[in-house]
Chains A and B, each alone.
Chain A
């Protein structure tokens, strides 16, 4: 996994509550057996005026001029400002893959859905929870100033505004450690293989029916 330490980039809006993962990446693109290439189809039904198909060249599709991410001022944006309960619904990890592939490194919202939140950390994408009022303020400042940039410092756990003002955020110690160092958590868990084996032996004794093979 790629590491996340500090990031600075243009902020872009996804200004609606309860954005579900179907909206982030529609189902027809889930037929891919790869982890990459989802970026052109991020928010597909909002970005384009036609129905997208897997494997299609998106460069010739009619774009929706009303969708903010299509506006010139948000091109190259890498920090997404969002509203409450971002990423609800389906557990598809294709959602963070699409956001990452499109170039987003951090998402700031008042709240996230659990599975999506968890999936982000596995892909070097940082979901940041800030108070509703602060997120609202960031939205207003972003709308008011073209090229509005935010800096995210994971080590210090702060979001830094262009005027230098900072907002602290919480992040789990373990997730922070993995992100800062770009660590593969399977490798870390396997360091505890002896504990897993010991638990398994005990469980096999207490509940042997759980170990009967399905054929």
Chain B
């Protein structure tokens, strides 16, 4: 299913890069390498990867900036790697556009599982449904497109999956745990901040006023729901 999938790892520590490359190749992935942000962006332009793995601490432009640059015109799944698990790094990485994060040292098998989850196609409850409409918001799961009025929105794969998941039962409250499991493939102890930051990012794209959302609504203490 994922044969020939290419992963770009951006990591300045050569030993880590080599060890992770070996381990990922054992898992069956093709691995491209870059040891700094500039090279990574140039390499990605020449040979687009299917998933990008970015270390936050890089010489020159840092991981956050690499992430933002990639996000400007691409929806490629991005996994941030941090050596510090403090809230600031995690949230800043997710807000820069990362889809998921891992804290060093992680098991490469765990990384493979994350990558597989990110590459999964958007799931719809009923394949027969081709259009979901919420006021001006129109979701076309078949084509992976979201329209707001006449203009098409550029969502990342994860943002799109999150929206489709919420749209699968309009008005139903989805807890963070359920969304973590269905969108990211996490077990019970996934990090709720993933959901929170992605909801925030989604709102800036689909809401007229992200501070007072009309579509993706927070249900205090319970989770999120989609309404029209």
Query: Do these two chains interact?
Result: no
Chain A residues within CB distance 8 Å of chain B = none
